[in-house]
Amino acid sequence: MAHKVKFPQYKKEVEVADNSDLLSAVIKAGIEIRATCAGQGTCGACKVQVLSGPEGYFASPSPWISKDEKKAGYVLACQTAVLGDLTVEIPQDTKLEKIQAVGADREDFEDTENIPGTTGQPEKTSFTCQPLARKIYINIPEPTLKDTTPDFERLERELSAKTGISDFNINLPLLRALSRFIRQSNWEVTAGIAEFNSDFEIIQLEAGNTSKNAYGLALDIGTTTVVVHLIDLNTGQITASKGTYNLQMSFGEDVITRIMYAQEKDGLEKLTKAIHDTVNSLIHAVVSENKIFNHDILCIQASGNTSMTHLFLGINPEYIRKEPYIPSVNLPTTVYACELGIKINPKGIISCVPGVASYVGGDITAGVLACGMQDSAETSLLIDLGTNGEIALGNSDWIVSAACSAGPAFEGVGIKSGTRAVDGAIQEIEISADKKQVKYETINNKKPRGICGTGLIDIPAELLRKGIITRDGKFNGEKVSPRIRRNEDGELEFVVVYAPETQSGKDIVITESDIANIIRSKGAIFLGIQVLLQEMGLKFENIGKIYISGGFGTYLDVEKAIMIGLLPDLPRNSFQFIGNSSLTGAKICLLSKQAREKAKETAGKMTYIELSVNPKFMNEYTSTLFLPHTDINLFPSVKNQLK
């Protein structure tokens, strides 16, 4: 038996089997909502309102649903069985926040220069240009009785003369059509060629000279966001940039939750389809806007963490999260786009930047390549601050790497008034000397809707600096500021923005639990850096340059990050923001065979240190759970401010 589930606000209706969960119906309708716990009922994120339905539809009791909400028909979608036709409303707070459109066809796309964390990328020019794929126009000499070279060898001869490549492969369907096609084209053809697992393959033939229409995609598959650059393969220039949220977020907001979901029935297939749908929607956006054809996109160079790469390729990530934490592959094989259902040229190729280990993937290899650490005599540090905290330390002789179990707090997850970096997210905060006023800045100057990552670093720094909290993250009494109060759970909280000023009409606050969550996250990242230094017998002062990559972009206040103990207290000119280094590294590899070889070499020489079983990390973690640290002497500039 099937039941209809209607979503009037989206003008959508789907049919699902009897006793299906309501979250599956939401996902089937293509509606993107938050589901942090991947359907376990433990996060309360997938709250929806059932407007009408049969008596007796089943909704499990939940601490996330108040008595008044229950009376109004609110349920958790993942815990509600569909036993009849339903009409459902998706509340604003449940929706997956959209990146607002800027010159795109759909509301969930944005030109990436407007997305925090995608600007400021360094450009590498030292690599020779040899794109992953390209188009070559050739005029083939017609055969004669004196020149009876077969058609394919004749084609190959001309391509070799233009490219310096001696051998080419060709697929059977193309070979079958070759002889008639080149004659119908009057011997003037454009060959699309691509590097396919170290060989070179002719992937398409077109009549005449179409060589100017050759594009590739640099693709960053993030846990939270997915971003593409459309690259002109002839000039190496970025033609368009688009980004959107990873549709996998409807199955869980972090890597571990998604790995667990992949083990459920059809879980892997759903997660893989979600990322393919995300990528295809971005492709549709750049193709439509730039009035090109899908078949003119010859290749994709993808970069992502190990789990995201596995899910993109449809590879089971099960053993990534189980000791001894082994991925299926670090250097994935190149595949045809048609094998994944990615809507570029069907024989276009998809290559992934090689990873290092279970929790240090191709995104970090790409980041190392982008900042040039692997070619520098100076010891540098790369910190990728995103949904996952990943770090790399090294120089041209050696590189060590690690992943910090920081959790997604800096993405706003697990924070009472937390949000992602969307319009209205508070990203900067300053508290007045009398501790009564809060000056804040939001993304795109919209009414505040919550606090995003950079704001979540600013707040504890400001609270500490003004003496509102102590170094253990506790409020320094209820009377220290009129903005401190006890909430309905009896916990102390600080009101950042009062309800009349906010989008939701609710106060935006920071609680003691929130501060503790932030402290745990910053502590994991700082200690990860410290452990890598200890493993190499180095000290903080031995670091010449610190590259900061990821979603924080140029909005991170280094002073405040040092104040809370997230970043080491080093000369401020040591820090450089490099935006989305994963995307930059993918672009570099897309355009250069030399860079692709360097990426393999770099990933191969990177040593991965598993912090979860490292005794130094486990023994010293509690020492980081203070602001900025139990050893204040590690932060002399903060010590001076707190005197």
The residue type at 313: L
- Residue 410 pLDDT class (50, 70, 90 cuts): confident
Domain 110-117+214-352 matches domain 362-408+518-641 at the CATH topology level: yes
Query: What's the pLDDT at 547?
Result: 96
Which of 96-110, 307-321, 552-566 reaches the highest mean pLDDT? 307-321
Tens of pLDDT along 272-308?
A: 999 999 999 999 999 999 999 999 999 999 999 999 9
- Residue 553 pLDDT class (50, 70, 90 cuts): low
Dihedral of CA atoms 580, 583, 586, 591 in degrees, nearest 10, equals: -100
For the chain, the structural domain boundaries read 2-89, 110-117+214-352, 133-207, 362-408+518-641, 418-509
User: Three-class SS of residue 449?
Assistant: coil
- Residue 53 pLDDT class (50, 70, 90 cuts): confident
pLDDT higher for 643 or 291? 291
Nearest to 547 by CA among 575, 508, 506, 516: 575
Query: What's the pLDDT at 189?
Result: 97
Give 362-408+518-641's CATH code, choosing from 1.25.40, 3.40.190, 3.30.420, 3.10.590.
Answer: 3.30.420
* pLDDT at 198 exceeding the cut of 90: no
**b/e for 44-70, b at 16 or more Cβ within 10 A?**
bbbbbebeebeeebebeebebbeeeee
Give the mean pLDDT of 495-513: 95
User: How many C-beta atoms lie closer than 10 Å to residue 435's C-beta?
Assistant: 18
Give the mean pLDDT of 615-638: 93
Vertex 359 angle, CA 353 and 363, to 5°: 30
Q: How far apart are CA 360 and CA 363, in angstroms?
A: 8
Say if domain 110-117+214-352 classifies as CATH 3.30.420.480: yes
pTM here is: 0.86
Among 1-10, 64-73, 167-176, 195-204, the range scoring the smallest mean pLDDT is 64-73
- Residue 38 pLDDT class (50, 70, 90 cuts): low
What's the burial of 630, exposed, middle or buried (CB within 10 Å: 0-12/13-18/19+)? Answer: middle
Half-sphere exposure at residue 635, Cβ-oriented, CA atoms within 13 angstroms: 25
- Length of the chain measured in residues: 643
Q: Are 224 and 551 in contact (CB under 8 A)?
A: yes
Tens of pLDDT along 438-452?
A: 999 999 999 999 999
User: How many C-beta atoms lie closer than 10 Å to residue 263's C-beta?
Assistant: 12
Could you write out the DSSP letters of every residue in 592-642? -HHHHHHHHHHHHHEEE--GGG-HHHHHHGGGGSSSS-S-GGG-HHHHHHT
With residue 111 as reference, give the H or E element that holds it.
Answer: strand 110-111
Q: How far apart are CA 250 and CA 37, in angstroms?
A: 9
Query: What's the pLDDT at 107?
Result: 36
* pLDDT at 558 exceeding the cut of 60: yes
Q: How far apart are CA 526 and CA 97, in angstroms?
A: 30
Query: What's the pLDDT at 552?
Result: 66
Query: What's the pLDDT at 120?
Result: 42
What's the burial of 342, exposed, middle or buried (CB within 10 Å: 0-12/13-18/19+)? Answer: buried
H helices of 224-316, where? 255-262, 267-290, 306-313
Give the mean pLDDT of 152-174: 95
* pLDDT at 378 exceeding the cut of 80: yes
Q: How far apart are CA 528 and CA 540, in angstroms?
A: 12
Rounded to the nearest integer, the mean pLDDT of the chain is 89
Give the mean pLDDT of 266-276: 95
Q: How far apart are CA 182 and CA 418, in angstroms?
A: 61
As assigned by CATH, the class of the 133-207 domain is alpha beta
Query: What's the pLDDT at 41?
Result: 74
CA torsion through residues 357, 363, 367, 369, sign = positive
- In percent, how much of the chain has pLDDT > 90? 70
465 CA to centre of own chain:
32
User: Three-class SS of residue 281?
Assistant: helix
CATH architecture for the domain at 2-89: Roll (3.10)
Nearest to 288 by CA among 332, 257, 242: 242
Tens of pLDDT along 585-614?
A: 999 999 999 999 999 999 999 999 998 888
* pLDDT at 402 exceeding the cut of 90: yes
* pLDDT at 103 exceeding the cut of 50: no
H helices of 129-195, where? 151-163, 172-184
* pLDDT at 234 exceeding the cut of 70: yes
Dihedral of CA atoms 405, 411, 414, 416 in degrees, nearest 10, equals: 150
The residue type at 274: A
Q: How far apart are CA 209 and CA 36, in angstroms?
A: 50
According to DSSP, residue 361 is labeled -
Give the mean pLDDT of 94-108: 45
Nearest to 559 by CA among 418, 404, 429, 435: 429
Query: What's the pLDDT at 109?
Result: 44
Q: How far apart are CA 181 and CA 204, in angstroms?
A: 11
**b/e for 352-368, b at 16 or more Cβ within 10 A?**
bbbbbbbbbbbbbbbbb
Token pair recorded at residue 352 = 């992934």
Token pair recorded at residue 548 = 């900061």
Q: How far apart are CA 543 and CA 286, in angstroms?
A: 40
Give the mean pLDDT of 424-451: 94
Query: What's the pLDDT at 213?
Result: 96
> CA distances (Å), 156 to each of 92, 101, 141, 151, 603, in order?
58, 46, 12, 9, 34
Query: What's the pLDDT at 61?
Result: 75
Query: What's the pLDDT at 108?
Result: 40
* pLDDT at 259 exceeding the cut of 60: yes
Query: What's the pLDDT at 483?
Result: 97
* pLDDT at 29 exceeding the cut of 90: no
Tens of pLDDT along 517-534?
A: 999 999 999 999 999 999
Tens of pLDDT along 111-132?
A: 443 333 333 444 445 788 999 9
- Residue 386 pLDDT class (50, 70, 90 cuts): confident
Nearest to 159 by CA among 212, 201, 215: 201
Q: How far apart are CA 388 and CA 404, in angstroms?
A: 7
